[in-house]
């Protein structure tokens, strides 16, 4: 129905024409119009003429996402929800029951958005990109952190594509603009010791929040693309650009590992050359962030020598 209205945006289509073309009862047409309006599609209706689509919202419907997409794998299968607990949680369940590589789960709002380290992820409706991808890379589990960096890199690149802004990646999984967090990656694995069954790559990006849209405790650390740019951003376009960027990095990563991406990763990194503290469990390591190695680990030069960190929370001092 939407495709039909989109194809005929310069004319009115009567209920009869629509119901005949789609071979559905006129009541179904009426219901579908009602549903589209509920999703914020602006549809004009005139007596005797029918319906005409005036405006398509920046809504993450599969048909809208697909219209903007040129990828081969990522997003070939899309599930889009108004509200979900967590796209990662659903992604995990779907992957367990066999959903294919590249399946994309999108939610306009998450009520139980998950962040790293058991934290929650603030995911209000309309404002962000809350998505998960099911991936089935044939790599050993210890290489998976590299994927998180790849996703962060793709997000930073996509922000750059759309806005020209200089987004950065903060190891291991944050995406920053002007030193504030604009996005994060949560990778969840189902694996055996030496092989991955599947990965759920969860990506959260604060897109169109105004500063007042953040809860108080986030307002000094988090930002959105719109808040930094001063102008709204199309979530659909951002998603398309992200998937495009991520697909090309991901396909290369599966074949050649992280090494070919290192030059770019280092260029986009917000930490290299800076004095940092890395906390991992009870450990606290201080030094200068020197490199990101082929496994995606952060190399720190400490007073006692080099330390390679697989995971951790970094603060710039």
Which residue number, 191 or 218, has a Cβ lying nearer to ligand BTN?
Answer: 218
Beta bridge partners of 199: 135, 189
Nearest residue to 189 (alpha-carbon basis) of 154, 144, 150: 144
Binding marks (x or -) toward ligand BTN, 176..215, rule CB under 6 A? --------xxx---------------xxx-----------
Asked if residue 227 binds ligand BTN (CB under 6 A), the reply is: no
Nearest residue to 106 (alpha-carbon basis) of 85, 77, 79, 68: 79
Asked if residue 90 binds ligand BTN (CB under 6 A), the reply is: no
Asked if residue 110 binds ligand BTN (CB under 6 A), the reply is: yes
Asked if residue 148 binds ligand BTN (CB under 6 A), the reply is: no
Residues ≥6 apart with Cβ < 8 Å to 107:
80, 81, 82, 83, 84, 87, 123, 130, 131
Which residue number, 36 or 131, has a Cβ lying nearer to ligand BTN?
Answer: 131
Asked if residue 297 binds ligand BTN (CB under 6 A), the reply is: no
Decide: 168 and 156 in contact? Cβ < 8 Å: yes
Supply the minimum distance, in Å, between the C-beta of residue 174 and ligand BTN.
6
Two tokens at 245? 């960027």
Residues 157-176 that bind ligand BTN (CB under 6 A): 173-174
Asked if residue 132 binds ligand BTN (CB under 6 A), the reply is: yes
Nearest residue to 114 (alpha-carbon basis) of 135, 79, 85: 85
What is the spatial distance between Cα 317 and Cα 314, in angstroms, rounded to a whole number? 9
What is the spatial distance between Cα 315 and Cα 180, in angstroms, rounded to a whole number? 12
Asked if residue 50 binds ligand BTN (CB under 6 A), the reply is: no
Which residue number, 29 or 188, has a Cβ lying nearer to ligand BTN?
Answer: 188
Q: Return residues touching ligand BTN (CB under 6 A).
A: 86-88, 110, 113-116, 119, 121, 123, 130-132, 173-174, 184-186, 202-204
């Amino acid at each position: 129905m939407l495709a039909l209205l989109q194809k005929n945006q310069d004319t009115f289509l009567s209920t009869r024409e629509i119901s005949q073309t789609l071979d559905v009862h006129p009541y179904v047409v009426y219901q579908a119009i009602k549903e589209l309006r509920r999703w914020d599609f602006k549809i004009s209706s005139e007596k005797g003429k029918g319906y005409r689509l005036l405006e398509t919202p920046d809504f993450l419907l599969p048909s809208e996402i697909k219209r903007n997409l040129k990828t081969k794998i990522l997003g070939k299968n899309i599930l889009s929800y108004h509200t979900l607990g967590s796209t990662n949680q659903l992604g995990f369940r779907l992957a367990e029951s066999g959903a294919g590589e590249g399946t994309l789960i999108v939610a306009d709002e998450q009520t139980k958005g998950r962040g790293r380290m058991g934290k929650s992820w603030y995911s209000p409706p309309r404002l962000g990109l809350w998505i998960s991808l099911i991936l089935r890379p044939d790599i050993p589990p210890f290489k998976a952190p590299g994927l998180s960096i790849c996703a962060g890199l793709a997000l930073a690149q996509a922000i750059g594509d759309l806005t020209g802004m200089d987004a950065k990646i903060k190891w291991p999984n944050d995406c920053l603009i002007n030193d504030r967090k604009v996005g994060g990656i949560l990778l969840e694995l189902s694996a055996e010791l030496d092989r991955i069954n599947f990965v759920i790559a969860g990506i959260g990006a604060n897109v169109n929040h105004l500063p007042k849209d953040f809860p108080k405790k986030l307002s000094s650390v988090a930002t959105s693309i719109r808040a930094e740019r001063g102008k709204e951003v199309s979530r659909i376009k951002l998603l398309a650009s992200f998937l495009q960027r991520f697909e090309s990095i991901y396909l290369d990563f599966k074949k050649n590992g992280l090494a070919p991406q290192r030059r770019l990763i280092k260029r986009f990194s917000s930490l290299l050359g800076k004095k940092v503290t890395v906390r991992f469990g009870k450990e606290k390591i201080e030094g200068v962030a020197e490199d990101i190695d082929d496994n995606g680990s952060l190399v720190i030069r400490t007073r006692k020598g080099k330390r390679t960190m697989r995971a951790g929370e970094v603060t710039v001092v």
